[in-house]
Structure 1
């Protein structure tokens, strides 16, 4: 029996649970002392869904499956996989005893210090890919890779993949597959969403989403509802963030919707190591044939009217997403719902249609869709073969200065010297564009010089960061910073600014917004850079 004291329990006769470190979807983690060996450990207490509907035999089978899977994870030996010391059962409840990592998670680091740069993202990715190769070779899938499940050890910055609590030994049926959605939807592969299959490739998709989050601070699939997230994963365009530019081929290869075409762990690790060694964007493997999203697309003819089957397929995805959102609280399996959409596609998922860009558009953020008519000085047009279409809530503006881009509906044009602004009502959001002759040192040098003068041009300038990246294959630099605004009434603001050279010109596109509205600002910025075209 366990010893009960002042919030202290001893389980299995040796592990004294002392303080709770955290709680997740798959259990409570305790700081504990192994009284037999005199060392600090972490103990995960696994809850079991045992109720009156389960017989004694069924409850026992559930416990046995959980323990069997935990013991399989305990056999893994890798410097970047959490060490499992012991798997015990106490009062008919499983506990996993693990090494205690002194340090927070990658999610904690992003929250406290912001996104990491490309070199650090590559370092983390290399460690996780190496860990996953070991797990997959042993037949163990993680199934919940996300920043919260990656620990960074204090002092050494060792990267540790943890929380195999919903891991599945390949080929086994697990407790977690009996009804409710398993994992984190923003990081879940589309084939798992559709119920088609779950394999090592699904973990690699999750890693691709994790790298985007580490680089930008937000998953490219974040939306305001579960239905929106599922639709983004299964159906929407995939737009990696601009910060992913230096390692964009890796991110794109991992976020390939067709699992058979997804970049494998060995190649992804090789590419990231090449980037760390050379500082140059890695090349895809020789045998990799890019999908349509990876090659320049010719001008598209006017699309034919949708067929009945096309309408049914699109409707099926939309309805499935809405059903999942509505039924999630009732414990209905998301995978089962999506697997049964229309019943005619055999579980196939669409191939990613991400455009030739390294920019992320977070289509979820409640973008204003005001239908106000643009001013006479601002020309808007629908998409043609010469420039991209505008997302919902945006319009394509053909600017007299020789470029076009998508701007939010309701934004009006206000030129100021060599700069052109598109501004929201009250100038809360300011989208700026400047076209100049190339300058010495290229975009990176230009942005670094601007950042050095940041305190002079932007009152209260702080947290400035310049990152080398690319846009549509052209060298670019991203400058991001926070400042106090031009007046007390205006208040603190945050700015995203991308500079690149193309066609003998230097282009600079930026968005400035109140610090409390950075999510909307990031979307406006990403869409503007993504859709920008010379005219």
Structure 2
């Protein structure tokens, strides 16, 4: 009798990121370097050994995920694919499955993210023409997402990738995206870019996700044109934001912006969502804006007027109503006016100010969207390219996939 063979070696379900370098996926994609780490996985640079094309590959671990986390992971893939029909959303090419990871093959943007391009490369600030060109691309990507019922909830320069020497940008990272037009998932996103209604939790209350994205776009616009954040948090506890609520022209005293851009920012940073500007009108104002910034030399070392000058007691709470007015919300806002804090770091926009995206510690997100129309990703229901995604197995195919072109209307070239 032959001896019993030893058990087959099992693939590790917790490989360190560096251990995958040099691996070839599906006999074709070689992982060559690590581009970055995130809360939900690792992103690698990869090369197609047959065509020498470079891709980014996001490795989403399977080990240790509960049912809710698996649903959220599947939702991210499905929503990103649906959104990637637009040319300014990062292209999704293939899904590859392994025992320990789902590998998402993505378009590669060699120039990094918008955050690094602003803070390290010095692009956009002082170049209104290029800033407008790029912001319109971001705006159009978000408009397309909203048109198909996708709300990003984490718009920020770190989630926007750059190529073509800074002239083309791609919206990425749909980890917090949702199909729900209203949500009670407060504190979802990144503090600098969060709207007041998203960051200010109310019992049994919900906030609209589309206006929340509009608010985030406003902060990104300030980043692009001025190289800084307008405030640290859109809360009356933040002295700079409180100064803005008191006097909408306050931003002109700390930022080198024109009256036209100041008017646009007033419309974006409207705390009452019923009066906050919509994306279509915002696009019209951006296109019509003749100049974003004043003739730019260098940033003043300190603002001409200090936000501390605006004492909390002088601010009318009704100037910052978060949603539809109600007595409990008004009372809470009035209570918050009694909070006194030092001046916020309104100019903080440097590599040290980079933020991770977060879910609220009290998040009720189950991974299900109440009005979702997509099919949940699973191994039993592989996606195909005629609306979904499939694993890549054949080695003799040409380029992975070319999307049907998205035809945008009323686009002005810059």
Q: TM-score, normalised by structure 2?
A: 0.58
- Would the alpha carbon gap of residues 65 and 207 (structure 1) be closer, same or farther in structure 2, given more than 3 Å must change? same
Give 3-state SS (helix, strand or coil) of 2:56's partner: strand
- Would the alpha carbon gap of residues 30 and 317 (structure 1) be closer, same or farther in structure 2, given more than 3 Å must change? farther
Deviation at 1:265, TM superposition (A): 0.8
Structure with greater proportional strand content = 1
Cα shift readout 1:310-352 (whole Å, capped 9, x = no counterpart)? 8764335777x9xxxxxxxxx9936779xxxxxxxxxxxxxxx
Partner of 1:529: none
Q: Which runs of 5+ in 2 are unaligned?
A: 1-10, 245-249, 294-313, 317-327, 342-357, 365-414
Identify the structure with bigger relative contact order (alpha carbons < 8 Å, sequence gap 6+): 2
- Would the alpha carbon gap of residues 48 and 201 (structure 1) be closer, same or farther in structure 2, given more than 3 Å must change? farther
Separation of aligned partners in 1, 2:63 and 2:208: 23
Give 3-state SS (helix, strand or coil) of 1:164's partner: coil
Alignment of 1:326-341 (within 5 A): 333=360
Partner of 2:160: 150
- State the structure with more CA Rg: 1
Partner of 1:72: 79
Separation of aligned partners in 2, 1:61 and 1:249: 43
Give 3-state SS (helix, strand or coil) of 2:161's partner: strand
Q: Does 1:137 align with 2:147?
A: yes
Deviation at 1:139, TM superposition (A): 1.2
Deviation at 1:133, TM superposition (A): 0.8
Partner of 1:251: 265
Deviation at 1:243, TM superposition (A): 2.3
Deviation at 1:23, TM superposition (A): 2.1
Cα shift readout 1:467-495 (whole Å, capped 9, x = no counterpart)? xxxxxxxxxxxxxxxxxxxxxxxxxxxxx
Partner of 1:519: none
**Contact 1:194/1:336 (<8 A) preserved:** no
Partner of 1:344: none
Q: Does 1:99 align with 2:107?
A: yes
Q: Does 1:240 align with 2:248?
A: no
Q: Does 1:208 align with 2:218?
A: yes
Deviation at 1:12, TM superposition (A): 5.8
**Contact 2:187/2:199 (<8 A) preserved:** no
Q: TM-score, normalised by structure 1?
A: 0.46
Deviation at 1:230, TM superposition (A): 7.7
**Contact 2:76/2:177 (<8 A) preserved:** yes
Alignment of 1:355-366 (within 5 A): none
Q: Does 1:315 align with 2:315?
A: no
Q: Which runs of 5+ in 1 are unaligned?
A: 52-58, 282-301, 322-330, 338-535
Deviation at 1:263, TM superposition (A): 0.9
Partner of 1:83: 91
Q: 2:179 aligns with which of 142, 166, 169?
A: 169
